[in-house]
Amino acid sequence: MSGGTNADWFDRARRVIPGGVNSPVRAFGSVGGTPYFIASADGPYVTDVEGRRRIDLVQSYGAIIAGHAHPAIVEAVAQAARAGTSYGAPTEREVLLAETIVEAIAGVDQVRLVSSGTEATMTAIRLARGFTGRERLVKFAGNYHGHSDSLLAEAGSSVAQLAADPAAVPGSAGVPAGAVEATVVVPYNVVPTLDETVAAVIVEPIAANMGLVAPAEGFLDGLAAECARVGALLIFDEVITGFRAARGGASALTGVTPDLVTLGKVIGGGLPVGAFGGRAEVMERLAPLGPVYQAGTLSGNPLATAAGLAALDLLDDAAYARLGRTTQRLTDGLSKAFAESGAPLVASTVGNLVGIFAGAQPPHDFAEAKTTDEAVYARFFHAMLDGGVALAPGAYEVAFCGLAHTDAVVDEVIEVARVAAEVTVRA
């Protein structure tokens, strides 16, 4: 279905969907203007209902890594759909996807598949509490772990844009104070001192929801050591970085092995999926083996597992090497465009993610991330959009390259960015 204008569809959507969108950042609230409605996508491109084709650096917020509508993934989903779309019973592909994850990620002996990253983090925390018999959770300011109640405390992503005071605890209306009473929020890149009441520490090993923030040297190692000292579990939220930063995720890059890992995005090949895994003694506390309950009708959905397996099959060493070169090419080009124009923007890359920060230098923590000039980002965003390049409509997100972004496509993005940077300075 296509046709009409973006404005027409947005007006129509607002009559039946709160705010006209099904995820807040899509509403363009922090950048202004009318969101574009996608009619189709292929490779590195998205095309809206007005027929405008743009190079896409959103890539479904990281879920797309091989390019939109990759033939192998489309065919895998089509074949799976012809055999039925949901069974409520085990399937072979669930086992194959779990085996692929276990093989790739250090410290993961077993995996439970779920339907979203939020569900993965929520259940991993429940599991950590059930395993340790403790209640307190430590999270880091600016890290986003989904929208479950206990995690909406000083969260990044669109939560940071929603609240008049992004540091409010909790970070959303409708979350009772009791839901976050056992949640302790500490600064990112600083190892906290824990005690024996802490069940778990959850962290984005590469922070990607307050812009892009790299882990400081020694931060993750120190965190693992402190968790081990008091018997708390360390949870890496790799919903974004899993199978993107490297095949083994951020833990492969850093050499730090957590107790539990949460996954999503890439492992579903563009379909809704999530997963969490860890060592067997922890995972076996889950029902039906143990007392920690979790269930989901669509967990291990046959379409999602088919798409995920097809996507992961494309990610060999050569693919990661190419993705790394592409990401560096884009970051270098953006940095040059910003420097030459004098635009108050900086670009950075960590683990095949690209950050664009409206300030003098990339942030080190949430306090610095919140100094981003959202008005500057909004001007740059719209100038890029006018030039045919789609970025995330929010200053706290990151940009993603994929295997479909050729050198020629990246060079086109850089040229658009050069003009957009100049427009940003003049505005």
Average pLDDT, the chain: 93
pLDDT tens profile 278-294:
999 999 999 999 999 99
CA–CA distance, 406 with 401 (Å, rounded to integer): 9
pLDDT tens profile 211-236:
999 999 999 999 999 999 999 999 99
Shortest CA distance to 124 belongs to which of 207, 232, 231, 235? 235
Model confidence at 253, in pLDDT bands (50, 70, 90)?
A: very high
pLDDT tens profile 132-185:
999 999 999 999 998 776 676 555 444 444 443 444 455 556 666 666 778 899
* Dihedral angle sign, alpha carbons of residues 108, 110, 114, 120: negative
* pLDDT over 80 (residue 378): yes
Please report which residue ranges of 235-285 form alpha helices under DSSP H. Answer: 249-254, 280-283
Bridge partners (DSSP) of residue 357 are 346
345, 358 in Cβ contact below 8 A? yes
Q: What is the pLDDT of residue 103?
A: 98
CA–CA distance, 386 with 99 (Å, rounded to integer): 44
pLDDT tens profile 13-60:
999 999 999 998 899 999 999 999 999 999 999 999 999 999 999 999
pLDDT tens profile 60-114:
999 999 999 999 999 999 999 999 999 999 999 999 999 999 999 999 999 999 9
What is the residue type of 130? G
Q: What is the pLDDT of residue 182?
A: 85
Tell me the CA distances in angstroms from 387 to 207, 344, 415, one per residue in order.
29, 19, 9
CA atoms within 13 A on the CB side of 139: 27
Q: What is the pLDDT of residue 147?
A: 74
240, 399 in Cβ contact below 8 A? no
Q: Enter the pTM of the model.
A: 0.93
Q: What is the pLDDT of residue 171?
A: 56
Count CB-CB contacts under 10 A for residue 316.
Answer: 11
Q: What is the pLDDT of residue 174?
A: 61
pLDDT tens profile 324-377:
999 999 999 999 999 999 999 999 999 999 999 999 999 999 999 999 999 999
Q: What's the token pair of residue 377?
A: 């980002």
| DSSP state for residue 147 in the 8-state scheme | S
58, 391 in Cβ contact below 8 A? yes
Residues acting as catalytic residues: 144, 237, 265
Q: What is the pLDDT of residue 175?
A: 64
Residue percentage of the chain with pLDDT more than 90: 89
Domains of the chain (ranges, CATH numbers): 6-69+315-426 (3.90.1150.10), 71-313 (3.40.640.10)
Tell me the CA distances in angstroms from 383 to 307, 332, 344, one per residue in order.
34, 19, 15
* Dihedral angle sign, alpha carbons of residues 90, 261, 150, 273: negative
Q: What is the pLDDT of residue 181?
A: 77
Shortest CA distance to 328 belongs to which of 398, 225, 407? 407
Q: What is the pLDDT of residue 333?
A: 98
Q: What is the pLDDT of residue 178?
A: 66
CA–CA distance, 332 with 328 (Å, rounded to integer): 6
Q: What is the pLDDT of residue 3?
A: 75
Shortest CA distance to 369 belongs to which of 198, 174, 208? 208
Write out the H or E segment, with its range, that includes residue 184: strand 183-186
Cis ω on the peptide bond leading into residue 170 (within 30° of 0)?
yes
* pLDDT (average), residues 392-411: 97
Count CB-CB contacts under 10 A for residue 85.
Answer: 12
* Strands across the sheet containing 353-357: 346-350, 353-357, 399-400
What is the residue type of 363? P
* pLDDT (average), residues 192-196: 97
Q: What is the pLDDT of residue 149?
A: 62
Count CB-CB contacts under 10 A for residue 269.
Answer: 29
CA–CA distance, 248 with 265 (Å, rounded to integer): 14
